[in-house]
């Protein structure tokens, strides 16, 4: 008898560790966590952990022989800055890895006679605003607007959304009898900020880097200009949003892919909140124009009215609450 599991890829990453912790605390499912990196200490013992590469073709045949995969949170990805240094590797991990998992999920769905739930975190990197005027004019973009990514990561995420929707709605559409296929759902995350981890490889990383540096009494040089504004979200809201969408009744969902927003903030405003929390903090701005251009192509904010209407999305943390109730107390404890 195969063991029923929820599979989490990219489990050692920022969202991955937070999600493993949350699902383990709920305690009502067996978690199979995997990552190419080792298991972080803070989630040890919470799952069956597999250090493995999602591009390993034999891995999935071994997995389905042992496990019945009910739900997949496919978090493994190379983020926007990292992907620009190794675009071919990014394409392999972000696209080919996703394709292999989707195929496996489709086969599992047909075999079980019940859809595998496939959760896919996407990103504001799927947007590409051509210039600052347009960015100002379309300050709250809707899901279908400005889907012209300028990065390999953004292209990969946009295609991942499309592939997932294809598997959900049209996979094997010409077969005499269309098999039961997967249930694909995706949230487009803004920049994420965690009190417990510092991201690597992203372009929105300056927010987290600034906060964690200040908490350690270290000066920070920000690689984007003070006025650059994009949407951000606190990690607990990021985990809530993907779980809320996973738990929403299928019949309420009019889309496969949803924007989720929390607050929109400039790098200068983040600096002000950081300085208020950690007086004496030294933050300077020395834009790296290439990285700044990437963040500049992302919208000021997202319109998440579809998520609010279809599955009741509502963030708990605005900018001030993110700092006062989530980041500052937890970060202070962490670096004490």
Nearest to 207 by CA among 301, 95, 302, 327: 327
- As beta bridge partners, residue 301 has 140
Task: Report the residue number, 192 or 283, with the smaller CB distance to ligand AKB.
Answer: 192
Please, what is the minimum distance in Å from the beta carbon of residue 178 to ligand AKB? 33
- Residue 223 to residue 219: CA distance in whole angstroms: 13
**With contacts defined by CB under 6 A, how many residues of the chain interact with ligand AKB?**
11
Task: Report the residue number, 115 or 231, with the smaller CB distance to ligand AKB.
Answer: 231
Task: Report the residue number, 11 or 233, with the smaller CB distance to ligand AKB.
Answer: 233
For 55, which DSSP code? T
Whose tokens are 């972080």? That residue is 40
| 80 binding ligand AKB? (CB under 6 A) | yes
Q: For the packed helices 97-112 and 57-66, what is the interaxial angle rounded to 10 degrees? A: 30
Q: Which stretch in 66-74, 105-113, 120-128, 311-319 sits in contact with ligand AKB by CB under 6 A?
A: 120-128
- Residue 34 to residue 175: CA distance in whole angstroms: 33
| 153 binding ligand AKB? (CB under 6 A) | yes
| 98 binding ligand AKB? (CB under 6 A) | no
Whose tokens are 């269309």? That residue is 178
| 203 binding ligand AKB? (CB under 6 A) | yes
Helices (H) and strands (E) counted in the chain, each on its own, are 14, 14
Please, what is the minimum distance in Å from the beta carbon of residue 199 to ligand AKB? 6
| 93 binding ligand AKB? (CB under 6 A) | no
Q: Contact 12/38 with Cβ under 8 angstroms?
A: yes
Among 16, 202, 299, 315, binds ligand AKB (CB under 6 A): 202
Among 115, 160, 164, 191, binds ligand AKB (CB under 6 A): 191
| 141 binding ligand AKB? (CB under 6 A) | no
Among 31, 79, 187, 327, binds ligand AKB (CB under 6 A): 79
| 126 binding ligand AKB? (CB under 6 A) | no
Q: Say whether 204 sits in a helix, a strand or coil.
A: coil
* Helix residue ranges per DSSP H, the chain: 14-26, 57-66, 80-85, 87-91, 97-112, 132-137, 152-169, 205-215, 235-247, 267-277, 289-296, 305-311, 319-321, 328-335
Enumerate binding residues for ligand AKB (CB under 6 A). Answer: 79-80, 123-125, 153, 189, 191, 202-204
């Amino acid at each position: 008898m195969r063991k029923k599991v929820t599979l989490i890829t990219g489990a050692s990453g920022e969202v991955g560790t937070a999600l493993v912790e949350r699902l383990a605390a709920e305690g009502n499912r067996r978690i199979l966590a995997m990552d190419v990196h080792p298991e972080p200490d803070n989630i040890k013992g919470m799952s069956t952990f597999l250090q493995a590469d999602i591009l390993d073709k034999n891995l999935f045949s071994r997995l389905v022989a042992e496990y019945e995969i009910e739900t997949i949170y496919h978090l493994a990805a190379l983020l926007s800055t990292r992907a620009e240094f190794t675009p071919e590797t990014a394409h392999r991990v972000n696209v080919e890895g996703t394709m292999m998992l989707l195929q496996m999920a489709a086969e599992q769905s047909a075999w079980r006679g019940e859809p595998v739930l496939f959760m896919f975190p996407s990103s504001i990197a799927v947007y590409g605003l051509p210039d600052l005027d347009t960015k100002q004019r379309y300050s709250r973009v809707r899901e279908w607007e400005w889907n012209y990514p300028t990065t390999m990561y953004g292209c990969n995420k946009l295609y991942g959304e499309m592939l997932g929707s294809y598997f959900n709605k049209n996979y094997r559409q010409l077969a005499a009898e269309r098999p039961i296929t997967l249930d694909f759902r995706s949230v487009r995350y803004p920049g994420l900020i965690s009190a417990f981890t510092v991201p690597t490889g992203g372009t929105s990383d300056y927010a987290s880097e600034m906060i964690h540096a200040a908490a350690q009494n270290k000066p920070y040089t920000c690689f984007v200009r003070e006025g650059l504004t994009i949407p951000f979200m606190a990690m607990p809201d990021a985990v809530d949003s993907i779980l809320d969408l996973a738990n929403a009744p299928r019949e309420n969902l009019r889309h496969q892919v949803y924007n989720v927003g929390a607050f929109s903030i400039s790098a200068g405003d983040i600096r002000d909140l950081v300085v208020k929390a950690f007086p004496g903090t030294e933050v300077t701005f020395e834009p790296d124009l290439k990285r700044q251009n990437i963040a500049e192509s992302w919208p000021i904010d997202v319109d998440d009215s579809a998520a609010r209407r279809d599955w009741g999305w509502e963030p708990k943390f605005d900018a001030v609450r993110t700092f006062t109730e989530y980041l500052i107390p937890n970060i202070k404890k962490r670096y004490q």
